[in-house]
Amino acid sequence: MLRRLPFLRLTYAHKLSLVAALPLILAVAAIASLVAIQSRALAEREIRALEVQLIEAKKAELRNYVTQARNGFYFIYGNAAPNDEDKKRQVSQILSAMIYGDEGFFFVYDYDGTILVSPRQTEMINVNHLALKDSRGTPVVASLIDIARQGDGYLTHLWPKPSNGQEAEMITYVTSFPSWRWAVGTGVFIDDVLATVATARADVETRVRRTFVYISVITLAALLIVFLSGMMINIRERRLADAKLKRLTQRVFDAQEEERGRVARELHDGISQILVGVRFALDSARRRLDNGAPDAGKSLEQGIDNLGTAISEVRRISRDLRPGVLDDLGLGPAIKSLRDDFETRTGIETAFSTVVFRNRLDQNAKIALYRIAQEALTNIERHSGATHASIDLRGHKKGATLRISDNGCGVDPSSKNRGPGIGLRNMQERVEQLDGSLRILSVKGSTGTIIEATVPLSHLLSPETNDPSLSRVQV
């Protein structure tokens, strides 16, 4: 699939950006979910409190209606006998006339379930409705009569609206006229309360969705800022890396040219001159042999000596380019051989000490430390004016350290201000490639220069114990 869609291949920078953005997305999603849950829970509590408050207000209103109605005809009921039909008719007429609002009315049931008063639904009068149930299965009339027998109370049920005949939620308050065995009450439809609650819930959902939108916009903006910042940093780092790579490439070219120049000088000033002398000696010997001169052998011997010198010079140059002893015997013998050649060539007394340790250095570390030692000795020969130098190579808990010191003139601080030379830069870069450290301690007019190169433990190999001869391997 990725082959078909190459644009989906992610670079390391893209993967890093995704890794940085993923926790942000998860955190924002968790926060948004928590905000939504808490907002809905809080709003639901407030809506329920509002619903209870509105319903309690409706109940208080119903109780007040029944109390006022009862006070209006209590003078008739209070003096009437249980079988006084005339006064029952008077009270029924009063209750029938007491209608309010668009749907409000009073009703009267006897304890047997026959409706006696129902001014807005007159077709139900004088009909027994004891078994009447609403669409939810609530026995409305039987429940109202039971409440009235107990004194008074409320019942929430469904009841057809007088205006359209459709069932709606209703709260009814009923009280008792025990001497007449009447259940008298009134009710109010609470569809307006339910509509208010539904509107409040809809408003809550709208606010929650709006909050989600705000959080999403903020998250998107944050992600865009993260990605744009990452892109800017990536572009900047790439430019810096390109510039550093160019400088490094230029230094490599400079080092190559310097090495080529050094080899060319060595060949021209050393081997070339020696070979010219060899040719001159051989030509002289040939002429003397042709002339029958008795001292022709001297010229041949001189040519042979010069040729041996040329061979030694070739070996020296080859050893400087890539010492075979480094691969054959290790770093310690290679630096010792380098010390011997340096001491013989320059006459500078040079001490060498090392501690054989079981861990071996890897190839990169050996080459780097050897080149550092070679460059340091070259600097001592050319610039220090020293009469004594020392080389110390040893391992320790943190890795391996090469320390080279001399009693020369040191490094001029003004030269440090101008920046290190290419030799010191080469040392620094070699150590940095090994994740090591390089310290150059020098004060002009003091005790010379100390160069200390340390490579970490990651470049130390485990000792080889299978071969007894390698039980103590040189570094």
What local confidence, expressed as pLDDT, does residue 84 receive?
A: 85
Q: Decide if 104 is inside a domain.
A: yes
Q: Decide if 183 is inside a domain.
A: yes
Banded model confidence at residue 115, pLDDT cuts 50, 70, 90: very high
Tokens for 378, please give them: 């070259």
Banded model confidence at residue 145, pLDDT cuts 50, 70, 90: very high
Banded model confidence at residue 468, pLDDT cuts 50, 70, 90: very low
Q: Decide if 78 is inside a domain.
A: no
**Looking at this protein, which amino acid is placed at residue 143?**
S
Tokens for 122, please give them: 């007159």
Q: Decide if 443 is inside a domain.
A: yes
CA 187/CA 154 separation, integer angstroms: 9
What local confidence, expressed as pLDDT, does residue 139 receive?
A: 93
Dihedral over Cα of 380, 381, 385, 386: its sign: positive
Q: What is the total count of domains within the chain?
A: 2
The share of the chain scoring above pLDDT 70, in percent, equals: 83
Judge whether residue 304 has pLDDT over 80.
no
What local confidence, expressed as pLDDT, does residue 155 receive?
A: 92
Of 400, 387, 389, 406, nearest to 447 by C-alpha is 406
Q: Are 416 and 440 contacting, i.e. CB atoms less than 8 angstroms apart?
A: no
Which is more confidently placed, 394 or 11?
Answer: 394
Contacts of residue 156, Cβ cutoff 8 Å, sequence gap at least 6: 169, 170, 171, 172
Q: Decide if 160 is inside a domain.
A: yes
Domain boundary among 170, 189, 208: 189
Helices of type H across 78-190 = 85-97, 140-149
Which is more confidently placed, 209 or 280?
Answer: 209
Judge whether residue 338 has pLDDT over 60.
yes
Q: Parallel, antiparallel, or unpaired for β 399-406 and 388-396?
A: antiparallel
Q: Decide if 322 is inside a domain.
A: no
**Looking at this protein, which amino acid is placed at residue 353?**
S
What local confidence, expressed as pLDDT, does residue 449 receive?
A: 85
- The predicted-structure confidence for 359-371, as pLDDT tens digits, reads as follows 577 888 888 888 8
Judge whether residue 347 has pLDDT over 60.
yes
Dihedral over Cα of 143, 144, 146, 147: its sign: positive
What local confidence, expressed as pLDDT, does residue 407 receive?
A: 85
CA 148/CA 182 separation, integer angstroms: 8
The CATH number assigned to the domain holding 377 equals 3.30.565.10
Domain boundary among 172, 189, 206: 189
- The predicted-structure confidence for 413-446, as pLDDT tens digits, reads as follows 444 444 456 677 778 888 888 888 888 887 555 5
Query: For 260-274, what is the mean pLDDT?
Result: 72
Q: Which of 83-92, 213-222, 415-424 has the lowest mean pLDDT?
A: 415-424
Tokens for 339, please give them: 């010390």
Judge whether residue 472 has pLDDT over 50.
no
What local confidence, expressed as pLDDT, does residue 174 receive?
A: 92
CA 244/CA 239 separation, integer angstroms: 8
- The predicted-structure confidence for 170-185, as pLDDT tens digits, reads as follows 899 999 888 899 999 9
The CATH number assigned to the domain holding 136 equals 3.30.450.20
CA 448/CA 349 separation, integer angstroms: 15
What local confidence, expressed as pLDDT, does residue 203 receive?
A: 85
CA 346/CA 276 separation, integer angstroms: 25
Judge whether residue 57 has pLDDT over 80.
yes
Q: Which domain holds residue 168?
A: 83-189
Domain boundary among 134, 156, 189: 189
Query: For 329-349, what is the mean pLDDT?
Result: 84
Judge whether residue 292 has pLDDT over 90.
no
Instruction: Output DSSP code: residue 80.
Output: -
Judge whether residue 94 has pLDDT over 90.
no
Q: Decide if 219 is inside a domain.
A: no
Q: Which of 40-44, 119-123, 297-301, 368-372 has the lowest mean pLDDT?
A: 297-301
Residue with tokens 């009063």: 94
Instruction: Kindly write down the DSSP assignment for every residue of 199-214, as one continuous string.
Output: HHHHHHHHHHHHHHHH
Q: Decide if 452 is inside a domain.
A: yes
What local confidence, expressed as pLDDT, does residue 268 receive?
A: 67
